[in-house]
Structure 1
Amino acid sequence: MHCHAHPFIIFEQSRVCRDSRWGRCYEGYSEDTEIVRKMTSFVSGLQGEPPTRHPNGYPFLEGRKNVIACAKHFVGDGGTHKGINEGNTISSYEDLERIHMAPYLDCISQGVCTVMASYSSWNGRKLHADHFLLTEVLKDKLGFKGFVISDWEGIDELCEPQGADYRFCISAAVSAGIDMVMVPFNYEKYLEDFTHLVESKEIPLSRIDDAIERILRVKFVAGLFEHPYTDRSLLDTVGCKLHRELAREAVRKSLVLLKNGKDSRFPFLPLNRGVQKILVAGTHADNLGYQCGGWTVTRHGLSGRVTIGTTIYDAIKDAAGDNTQVIYEEMPSSDMLAREDFDFAIVAVGEAPYAECTGDNSILNIPLNGANVISAVADKIPSLVILVSGRPLVLEPWLLDKMDALIAAFLPGTEGSGVTDVLFGDYEFEGLLPVTWFKSVDQLPINAGQSSYDPLFPLGFGMKTNDKRHVI
């Protein structure tokens, strides 16, 4: 979230499209509107549902209890070469439109107020300076009447070294169609150079008038002149019981069961509440910051009790009941594993928080000694592994063989009880993989439908607790 005079809620629009199957979904937009609609339902969830006769392309906000949405990052950010952050999407215009632009059509039809340009490039052309895509396509062809905003210091990247020719950066971005520029630090220099560009007519007044008209249109729709500040009476509803229950539901519905039992005749899940002693281990078992990932409290995220919430360990203690002893040891020693008599273990490991370029990783193994912790515990105790990560990680065959069960939790956030809801059988698993889970990084990029497609777990895979498929 970032704020100007009014809160803007931002959601990633194109990064979900990491697998070519999504491209096929978009191939006929009219045939697959429902799929796209599910992806873009954030807009109406934040802004409210526009009336039937609301003019297409114009911004909409239902009332003061709603917030402006921003669809980002336009366009192709989810298709960069090798998935590199701020990278280069290499494609024809037809493929760009078919695969990456389709969700924006639905956002625009729902009255999305703002669209953010991408740091990335299309065939080597920086999106922040692409007049064809920002103006001729987004504004003219697609009919978007809200305003286009730059990313954080996004215009600085239009020259090398970054920001060296700041006047050029401003001119290129504004002329391309950027209406509002996000300048977090260098605003005095921005105002000086921007004023010069307008006074020298390098940026025509007609471009300024268009930008102002678009920004004012959104502010009028949002009622900012009548109510310039947020409604402070709503503060107590943030993080309320209803919100946390909804978040908990989202957690349990998003968990993906990848393995359940070493033998298909003997499923490991659901877990038995009536046991005497459970071991909980791993770096991610009792760490809210790790559960939440990046963009939580700080840009790159933090470790520890960063906010109010329930860790996986907290949830296991609550779910197991008073008659079961739950022992937590982040890195259990071999002596401890040999000495104690556990019925089973739950090992939660995964990635430390990251955001943007700090997450670029060509190895994608389980960090923080995760594989060794899994191996040490699973050698001694029947073990369920919960992998907390922002993406698939390498799962070596020898490691998979040791696990009795495996769950991809991705980043469950603050409500760890959503995990135990399915562990102990109160709810069934519903999650399906939104991307292909590769066997090794040598397979990347891997796309469903390729003749050489040989994944560890295919796109859309997800077991139920009574499902006998794909036993490792």
Structure 2
Amino acid sequence: MKRLSWLIVAVIVFGCSQTKQAQTYSSGDVEMDRFVGDLLSKMTIEEKIGQLNLLTPGGGILTGSVVNPDVEQKIKAGNVGGLFGVIGVDKIRKAQELAVTQSRLKIPLLFGSDVIHGYKTTFPIPLGLSCSWDIPMIERSARVAANEATADGLNWVFSPMVDIARDPRWGRVAEGAGEDPYLGAAVSAAMVRGYQGTNMAADTTLMACVKHFALYGAAEGGRDYNTTDMSRLQMYEYYFPPYKAAVDAGVGSAMTSFNEIDGIPATGNRWLLTELLRNQWGFKGFVVTDYTAINEMIDHGSGDLQQVSAQALRAGTDMDMVGEGFLKTLKKSLDEKAITEAEITLACRRILEAKYKLGLFQDPYKYTNAQRATREVLSADKRAAAREFAVRSSVLLKNTNQTLPLKKTGTIALIGPLANDKNNMLGTWAVSGDKDLSIPVLTGMKNVAGAGVNIIYSKGANITDDTALAKKANVFGERASIDSLSPARLLSDAVATANRADVIVAVVGEASEMSGEAASRSDINLPGNQTALLEALAKTGKPLVVVMMSGRPLTITREMQLATSFLHVWFQGHEAGNAIADVLFGNYNPSGKLTMSFPYNVGQIPVYYNHKNTGRPQGPGPTQKFRSNYLDVSNDPFLPFGFGLSYTTFTYGDVRLDKTTMQANEQLRVTVPVTNSGRFAGEEVVQLYIHDKVASVTQPVKKLKAFQKIMIRPGESREVVFNLSVEDLKFYNSEFKWVSEPGEFTVMVGGNSRDVKRADFTLRN
């Protein structure tokens, strides 16, 4: 009873403050405030609540099992603020007509979709795109996707997904930019700029939605939807930067995460959504839940549907995706004084402001030009862009005896379950992509190789022989097919094919839906039957080029031993086959670098480059007793963050500093010579890391603070220059203040986080 009394007092006090806020509200845009304020004055409480309701009519790939009934009637009644899962200009126009011609106030709808890596023209998965380290290209990928999606009627995308992830067991690492906050923040801001452009009201731009706020990538055990628990310092220093970068870039909306933070689900967490996101960071957009996230607070143990809906609204959630908790319970909570009308009005205002910024009140049909859709969707220029993005996402992990690039002569045995497969080329979360339009590797190699190459094909193995795993991977259609031929027959046919060739290209990996949402794996090995295939192929003595597709880092120590050359291509989208062939035959020299560390085995997880020292660190050299280490494996990852080879070689000179003592108001000029010492022109990602040797809050062994992607011709040397300021030396202290402290620092520059050149300097006040 005491708790209930306290809640009533809190609601009254908070309600008064909210009423005052509503009276003094100003967005800074006088015309928008006038328009929205006038519209709000005409709305009933039911219509205001209706704007907070985001529905899907069904008929698409859903992230849950709920499909909203009677959507059409709800639109007419003013009970819907937006729809998602509606694809195509004609369908979107019809739904918009319902809202603007048959509802009382004619308020237009938002139309959203999960445009994660391209719209109908599918690009590489985001983890693959991040491996390009090409921020302008990543921005352009979002720009191209926005152009295509808006041509087909959409005005809102549930992207970018910017969750920092250090655990590859979590399937949704495929959707993010990896483990590093600095790179993740750069990618996040680039995606927002690409989607929203400089004018969100243009008919070729749309509203982005940063997700999942917050900390979703730190789910315990890598198990999707699981709990998350970490210190505030860890949040601020490592996990928050990409979200904040999106806010600073002007992102129009944010999506809540499924996990809890400090014991309170994110969707109902006032500290997260109001104190941090809005008050500290100055976020001006609206907050939407993930799929039924309000309803799922019930299973978290936060109360019944009415209680959790009220909690979510008070916390700062503005729009309820699918669950209809707001629609069904807020009026009752208002009558019982558990919430205030000011809170409902403020949430509604934020939704209306988004529609105003998109220009929907001026022209609700601006995104429904059928002629533009015909011209832009799946156009040749977008396929060309997809191919370009794909080649730049490939990461060369091994190349013994310069087996790659392949010669455009002789006989190549193309083998593997993903070698002639359209079903898996798009990767996870390609909800609008048509798999039948994808280019398989066999077709791509024939397209690129020319008449001088004889390519012979054999499947060699299933993606998995485990029928239970295959069934789970086939939830959205056949991705892991079980061949009518026995595994033994597939293997023997493949070996016979390999023996007729000069070189073997084996295309192996996961099925597309073995990663992604609700696709966590406790065993991240390549399926055993595929490893057995590689072992049999290696025994032929022929050069063995392994091409691997996956949505996450896998444990591939054995596979790397077997391979002569190893190319990781992630999932590359519609142009996968052509792009992979471009790299294999040397039309493009691979330049990708890993954005997640690859572990030796699953027991090492989490393993990431920017870890902290313990009081008993394991130093270089033999393993020592009573030090922080394993008995059976190195502390270091198998493949480090930032690693990636080229068909050429790059040699780094010593790091030079223009001074060894830096004042807080000065910049430090860091210079390193990089030489292309090989035979091919190539691009290198030059990476700069720092280490703060002594600080009031212990610092990691290194932190990425800058990078440049440069092209160097054979025999050419280039001086790469970085300018560091005191801002690059700051960290969050124990009071969560962004500070720098005088002291000694090490700057490190190299081609990955492990192999670096070092120099020391001192920061003075």
Query: Which category of TM-score, normalised to the shorter sequence, fits these structures?
Result: 0.7 to 0.9
Report the AA paired with residue 389 of structure 1.
Answer: S
Alignment correspondent of 1:269? 404
Aligned partner (choices 92, 101, 110) of residue 5 of structure 1: 110
Q: Is contact 2:287–2:317 with CA below 8 Å preserved after alignment?
A: yes
Report the CA distance shift for 1:111/1:12 in structure 2 as closer, same or farther (over 3 A). closer
Q: Which one of the candidate residues 498, 507, 511 is aligned to 1:348?
A: 507
The CA deviation string for residues 359-392 of structure 1, in whole angstroms up to 9 with x for no partner, is 1111111137321222222322321111100111
Equivalence for 1:193 = 329
Distance 1:210 1:164, change over 3 A: closer
- Partners of 1:134 and 1:335 in 2: CA distance: 58
One-letter amino acid matched to 1:295: W
CA distance in 2, matches of 1:37, 1:324: 42
Q: Which structure 2 residues correspond to residues 60-71 of structure 1 after superposition, within 5 A?
A: 61-71=200-210
Contact 1:23 1:99 in 2 (8 A): no
Tell me the equivalent position of 2:428: 294
What is aligned with 2:363?
227
**Aligned-partner residue type, residue 543 of structure 2:** P
Note the alpha carbon deviations across 1:386-413, whole angstroms, 9 max, x for none: 110011112143x322211111111111
Shift, 1:23, TM fit: 11
Shift of 1:337: 2.4
**The 10-residue stretch of structure 1 (167-176 or 250-259) with the greater mean CA deviation from structure 2:** 167-176
Task: Answer with 101-110 or 63-72: which moved more.
Answer: 101-110
Alignment of 1:166-185 (within 5 A): 166-183=305-322
Structure 1: tracts of 5 or more residues without a match: 27-31, 50-59
Q: Does 1:317 align with 2:446?
A: yes
Match for residue 334 of structure 1? Answer: 492
Q: Which moved more, 1:234-243 or 1:450-459?
A: 450-459
Q: Which moved more, 1:237-246 or 1:249-258?
A: 237-246
Q: Distance in 2 between matches of 1:151 and 1:403?
A: 42
Relative to 1, partners in 2 of residues 1:468 and 1:44: Cα closer, same or farther, differing over 3 Å?
closer
From 418, 431, 435, the equivalent of 1:306 is 435
Q: Deviations over 1:66-123 (max 9, x none)?
A: 1110000111122333333223332222321222222233222222110001112223
Deviation for aligned residue 1:208: 0.5
- State the distance in 1 between where 2:506 and 2:556 align: 15
Identify the residue that residue 353 of structure 2 maps to in structure 1.
217
Distance 1:24 1:361 in 2: 18
User: Post-superposition shift, 1:62?
Assistant: 4.5
C-alpha distance in 1, partners of 2:160/2:406? 35
- Determine whether 1:370 maps to 2:530: yes
Q: 1:36 to 1:91 in 2, by over 3 A?
A: same
Residues 106-185 of structure 1 correspond to what in structure 2 (within 5 A)? 106-160=245-299, 165-183=304-322
Instruction: Determine whether 1:87 maps to 2:226.
Output: yes
1:182 and 1:468 map into 2 onto residues whose CA distance is: 50
SS at match of 2:423: helix
Asked whether the equivalents of residues 82 and 445 of structure 1 are also in contact (C-alpha less than 8 Å), the reply is no
Question: How much does 1:227 deviate?
Answer: 2.2
Please tell me the root mean square deviation across aligned C-alpha atoms, in Å: 2.7
Separation in structure 2 between the aligned mates of residue 383 and residue 461 of structure 1, nearest angstrom:
21
Contact between 1:387 and 1:410, CA under 8 Å: does it hold in 2?
yes
Higher mean alpha-carbon deviation, 164-173 vs 248-257, is at 164-173
Task: Verify: 1:74 aligned to 2:213, yes or no.
Answer: yes
User: Separation in 1 of the partners of 2:265 and 2:236?
Assistant: 17
What's 1:458 paired with? 640
In structure 1, the partner of 2:608 is: 447
Instruction: Supply the AA of the counterpart residue of 2:496.
Output: A
1: CA distance, partners of 2:216 / 2:300: 22
Q: Is the 8 A contact 2:179 2:608 kept in 1?
A: no
Pair 1:384 & 2:489 matched? no
- Aligned residue pair count: 438
AA of the residue aligned to 1:222:
L
Q: Is the Cα contact below 8 Å between 1:85 and 1:356 reproduced in 2? A: no
Q: Is the 8 A contact 1:259 1:406 kept in 2?
A: yes
Matched-pair contact (CA < 8 Å) for 2:267–2:294: yes
Report the alpha carbon displacement of residue 357 of structure 1 after superposing the two structures with TM. 5.0
Between the aligned partners of 1:459 and 1:149, the Cα distance in structure 2 is 33
Structure 2: unaligned runs, 5 residues or longer:
1-83, 87-108, 112-153, 168-176, 461-489, 612-616, 618-628, 630-634, 652-751, 753-765
Cα distance in structure 2, aligned partners of 1:335 and 1:134? 58
Deviates more, 1:411-420 or 1:82-91: 82-91
Query: Contact 1:114/1:148 (CA < 8 Å) preserved in 2?
Result: yes
User: Which of these residues, 512, 518, 529, is aligned with residue 358 of structure 1?
Assistant: 518
Distance 1:35 1:177, change over 3 A: closer
Tell me the residue number matched to 1:253: 392
Deviations 1:289-343 (A, max 9, x none): 3122222237xx9xxx724121122111111212322122112442552365111
Letter paired with 2:317:
I
CA distance in 2, matches of 1:341, 1:23: 41
* In 2, Cα distance between equivalents of 1:372 and 1:155: 46
| SS across alignment from 2:569 | strand
Deviates more, 1:89-98 or 1:136-145: 89-98
Q: Using the alignment, how far apart are the partners of 1:105 and 1:117 within structure 2?
A: 14
Q: Give 1:425 deviation, angstroms.
A: 1.0
**TM-score normalised to structure 1 length:** 0.85
Corresponding residue for 1:15? 163
After TM superposition, list the pairs within 5 Å mapping 1:410-425 onto structure 2. 410-416=570-576, 417-425=578-586
* Alignment partners' CA distance in 2, 1:18 and 1:161: 24
For the structure 1 residues 234 and 97, does the alpha-carbon distance in structure 2 shift closer, same or farther, using more than 3 Å as the test?
farther
CA displacement at 1:279 relative to structure 2: 1.4
CA contact (8 A) 2:396 2:567 kept: yes
Aligned: 1:47 with 2:196: yes
In structure 2, the residue corresponding to 1:289 is in which secondary structure?
Answer: coil
1:256 to partner: Cα distance = 0.6
* 2:163/2:214 contact within 8 Å kept: no
Contact persistence 2:180–2:595 (CA under 8 A): no
> Counterparts in 2 of 1:430-445, with a 5 A limit?
430-445=591-606
Counterpart Cα distance in 2 of 1:297 and 1:260:
35
Q: Aligned with 1:447: secondary structure?
A: coil
For 1:29, the equivalent position in structure 2 comes to: none
**How far has the Cα of 1:161 moved from its partner?**
7.8
Q: Percent identity?
A: 29
Offset of residue 225 of structure 1: 1.7
Question: Which of 553, 556, 559 pairs up with 1:395?
Answer: 556
Q: Which residue of 1 aligns with 2:416?
A: 282
Contact 2:213 2:256 in 1 (8 A): yes
The residue that corresponds to 1:204 in the other structure is: 340
Question: Which amino acid is 1:268 matched to?
Answer: T
| Residue in 1 that maps onto 2:717 | none
